[in-house]
Structure 1
Amino acid sequence: MKNSKIKKIISPKLPSKLEEIQLQDKNIENEGLFLSGVIKDCLFEDKITEKLTFKEIVFKNVVFKQVIFRQIDCTDVRFENCDLSNVDFREGVFHRVEILNSKILGANFSEVALRNVIFNSCDARYAFFRFLDCKQVGFENCLLQKSDFQDSSFKNIYFQDSNLQQTEMSGTKLEGIDFTSCDIDGIGVRPEDVYGATVSSIQAVSLSRLLGIKIVD
């Protein structure tokens, strides 16, 4: 279960009613702005932008293909049933964001700042989360095999019922994180990284082998 000491993650602050809006090429440009609306059932393709801003936006059933969103600003945003595979979000900011039941296979979140963000039921295998700056972030029921969280900063972050097989986390302090509901077989860590983390007895044996420790009866 989620660590009871984790502070509550603040949900996106969205108006009770949002009108559907259309993606327009004139706004899909550097420093473009999308404000207060629902974007759904469409394809977002072949776009390269910097400093694009989404505020009070709900994405539903949107496919992002061959998209680069460098330094994106997402505030009060929800992604539902979207395909964000291989999207480049490097150096972006996500504040009060939910990513629900979505694919983020191979997506690049390197050097992204995450504040009050939930990933729930997402396929995030092979995703890049290097050099993350995380505060108030949760991964729930996610596939994170072979993803990369190296050299990241974690504060009030949790992983619940998620698959972290062969995930790389070296250089990231995992103190205070409870992994007991997750599969961490083959996780890449250093001894100093896992100091203060909570694991099950079976997980401890697996980690001992990974860290070169011999356990004898």
Structure 2
Amino acid sequence: MNTFMTAKEYLMSILKIEQPKLPADMPPLVLKEERMEPEDSFHTGIISQCDIDNQRAYKVAFDKIIFRNVTFSRISMKEIELTDVIFEKCDLSNVDFGTATIHRTEFRDCKIMGMNLSDATIRNTGFYNCLGDYLTLRMANLKQVLFHQCSLIGADFYEATVQKIALEDCKLDQAQLSGVKLEGIDLSTNSFARLGVNVENLRGCIISREQAAVFANLIGLQLKD
């Protein structure tokens, strides 16, 4: 690894993650207070220091948007489209973004506890230093996705399709990975005491020596000193 690169930068380069493509100058953008309508779209701007509350709409699109210190409350935006978007220090706890399409997006220092991304299609996306306990990614399709220094306790990846993803220095205790093919995925830097996994999907998974006891217990082996 290049000594001048951080672990995050190194993994981003290995995964070939494309970062959000944003213009140098972005104007403030104020959302109207009335209810969003299906297929509304919002383009190029910074939305900051506000609450987005009690919104239910399908196929809302955000393109080239920075959300900064925004709290999302009572939000259901199924099939939302996020392209070239950054969420910075936002609270998205329990939002429903089921069946979302997410591309070139970053979640930085965000609360995403209980966030629903079931059946989402996620590409070129990073979750960095996020509190994401009980995040739901059931049956999602993830490619070129990095979770770095996130708390993902109890997160649900059930039967997610994964390709070129990395989990680095995350808390994964009690995460549900059943039905996820873990071949080539490095779990060695993550912490957990229990995981929900299928034994047949562990082939090729990379773990640390300390984690070996957890996986041995899963298949009924007893380790002897």
Match in the other structure for 1:187: 195
Q: Partners in 1 of 2:153 and 2:131 — Cα distance?
A: 9
Q: Partners in 1 of 2:12 and 2:56 — Cα distance?
A: 41
1:33 aligns with 2:45: no
TM-score by length of 1: 0.96
TM-score by length of 2: 0.93
Residues 34 and 130 (structure 1 numbering): CA distance in 2 closer, same or farther, change over 3 Å?
Answer: same
Match in the other structure for 1:103: 111
1:21 aligns with 2:29: yes
Match of 1:47 among 55, 58, 63: 55
**Deviation of 1:65 (Å):** 0.3
Unaligned ranges ≥5, structure 1: none
Match in the other structure for 1:164: 172
The Cα RMSD (Å) is: 1.5
Q: Kindly provide the amino acid, as one letter, of the partner of residue 95 in structure 2.
A: V
Q: Kindly provide the amino acid, as one letter, of the partner of residue 199 in structure 1.
A: I
Worse-superposed segment, 205-214 or 12-21: 205-214
Q: Partners in 2 of 1:4 and 1:100 — Cα distance?
A: 15
Match of 1:58 among 61, 66, 90: 66
**Deviation of 1:5 (Å):** 8.6
**Deviation of 1:212 (Å):** 1.8
> Is the contact between residue 27 and residue 34 of structure 1 (CA under 8 Å) also seen in structure 2?
no
Q: Kindly provide the amino acid, as one letter, of the partner of residue 144 in structure 1.
A: L
Q: Kindly provide the amino acid, as one letter, of the partner of residue 201 in structure 2.
A: D
Q: Partners in 2 of 1:27 and 1:190 — Cα distance?
A: 43
Q: Kindly provide the amino acid, as one letter, of the partner of residue 84 in structure 2.
A: D
Match of 1:216 among 212, 217, 224: 224
- 1:110-121 alignment to 2 at 5 Å? 110-121=118-129
Which one scores higher on RCO, CA 8 angstroms, separation ≥ 6? 1
> Is the contact between residue 27 and residue 33 of structure 1 (CA under 8 Å) also seen in structure 2?
no
Q: Kindly provide the amino acid, as one letter, of the partner of residue 54 in structure 1.
A: F
Q: Partners in 2 of 1:19 and 1:123 — Cα distance?
A: 29
Match in the other structure for 1:176: 184
Match of 1:123 among 106, 131, 151: 131
Match of 1:78 among 86, 93, 101: 86
Report the secondary structure of 1:50's partner residue. coil
**Deviation of 1:214 (Å):** 2.3
> Is the contact between residue 190 and residue 211 of structure 1 (CA under 8 Å) also seen in structure 2?
no
**Deviation of 1:25 (Å):** 4.2
Unaligned ranges ≥5, structure 2: 1-6
> Is the contact between residue 12 and residue 146 of structure 2 (CA under 8 Å) also seen in structure 1?
no
Report the secondary structure of 1:201's partner residue. coil
Report the secondary structure of 1:206's partner residue. helix
Match in the other structure for 2:4: none
Q: May I ask how many residue pairs the two structures share in their alignment?
A: 217
